[in-house]
Structure 1
Amino acid sequence: MPPHFHFGLHSEHGVVARPTTAITPQLAHWYLTREQFEPVPGRTGLYRLTSPDQDARRRGRQAVHDLRRHGFTVQADISLDPAQSAPPPTPARRNGLAERRTRIAQAAAGRSTQHHASIAPSITAQSPGAGAPPMAAAGRRR
């Protein structure tokens, strides 16, 4: 299947995107403007990322990721392709609340050692009416 979008780096415009004929121009415009792209004046079908000085590569990578998540096929430069270039690792911050909730959930899912299964009382055969409440016995006589 041909790609729906091409993403790349442009020397003058920064991160740019161009929809292909596999997608309608109106739908491409709608998605690209939602991903913070704007049409380049004088260049039909070319879109550039708004505010290219504000973390343009990360925002470009996010746009590629979002469009793929929506089911579109996107061809992108290696530096803008999340599948080919991983972002720098971020140190994992420990979250005490999440750890506490995990422990509580694990405890709730397990069997309790505090309560043993009680032995069910045995049922003995009794004659009808013997041991029955007075109202139930009265109702049977009618």
Structure 2
Amino acid sequence: MAETRPHITISGDDRYGVVAATSHESHVADHMLRRVGFERLPDSNHYGLREPDRDPTRRGQQAVQSLRVAQYAVTSDAAYDVSVQAAPRTNRDPLVQLKNRSAALVARAGEAASARALDADIRAAQVVVHDQVRDPEGTLRAVGTDLRTREGLLLHGEGDLRFVESRLEHTSRAFDAFYAIPGNERRDPRLSMMQRAQAATAISPARAGAVLPQQPATAVAYRSATAPQQPTRAR
């Protein structure tokens, strides 16, 4: 199943601060970049972080994390890539440990921001949740539609901890993936609708073998007209 996952690159720029570029034009990527704080640069297909002088490194890291949580493939400079900055746990240097904890907090902050944005979209009816079920691990999984982009969504989690697991080109594909989740015993309602439609249009065996009654033929007999009798004259 193909997913809509535009490739995004985030890097530093001497003039505009933190900038982002997409590998191809996509209204979905444009929407997401604006959601995490970027805006289109004038006369360019690149994006710049709004208020570039306000804590650019931390905000760039949050943008990278939020985009990745939303299932977008992102490459970035090391300064904005928290995963690259994470050091092995065996390092007991207090400064390194402090940096690791800060990076983890930034990552969680980015995920929390993404979850809050998704929850707000659901409350505003911009994202519609069609069905949901708990998987064998107890995680709430759901299928929905982003009414702005017409994409199908697979969601996991709930409340302020609900995230977009994947974005699919059509809602029907999202339904296929949702009902294929291991442990999901829900019946696909589309199947029952198809069955009812087929039953309504099918010809039953009894009706198929029935013979319409023939209307009996009516015999019509024509009689020749008799000549009228001549009056008898008396002699």
TM category, shorter = 0.5 to 0.7
Aligned-residue identity in percent: 33
Is this contact kept in 2: 1:3–1:20, CA < 8 A?
A: yes
1:21-60 matches, cutoff 5 A: 21=24, 24-43=25-44, 45-60=45-60
The TM-score normalised by the length of structure 2 is 0.34
Which amino acid is the alignment partner of residue 40 of structure 2? P
Report the CA distance shift for 1:53/1:7 in structure 2 as closer, same or farther (over 3 A): same
Aligned equivalents of 1:18, 1:90: Cα separation in 2: 29
Number of aligned pairs? Answer: 87
Report the CA distance shift for 1:29/1:78 in structure 2 as closer, same or farther (over 3 A): same
What's 2:12 paired with? 9
Unmatched tracts of structure 1, length 5 or more? 92-142
Aligned equivalents of 2:101, 2:52: Cα separation in 1: 23
Q: Deviations over 1:85-142 (max 9, x none)?
A: 2492569xxxxxxxxxxxxxxxxxxxxxxxxxxxxxxxxxxxxxxxxxxxxxxxxxxx
Q: Which moved more, 1:82-91 or 1:62-71?
A: 82-91
> RMSD over aligned Cα, in angstroms?
2.2
The structure whose RCO (Cα within 8 Å, separation 6+) is larger is 1
Aligned equivalents of 2:72, 2:36: Cα separation in 1: 14
Is this contact kept in 1: 2:8–2:22, CA < 8 A?
A: yes
Q: Point out the structure with max Rg over C-alpha.
A: 2
1:1-142 matches, cutoff 5 A: 4-21=7-24, 24-43=25-44, 45-86=45-86, 88=99
Secondary structure of 1:9's counterpart equals strand
Is this contact kept in 1: 2:6–2:26, CA < 8 A?
A: no
Is this contact kept in 2: 1:3–1:75, CA < 8 A?
A: no
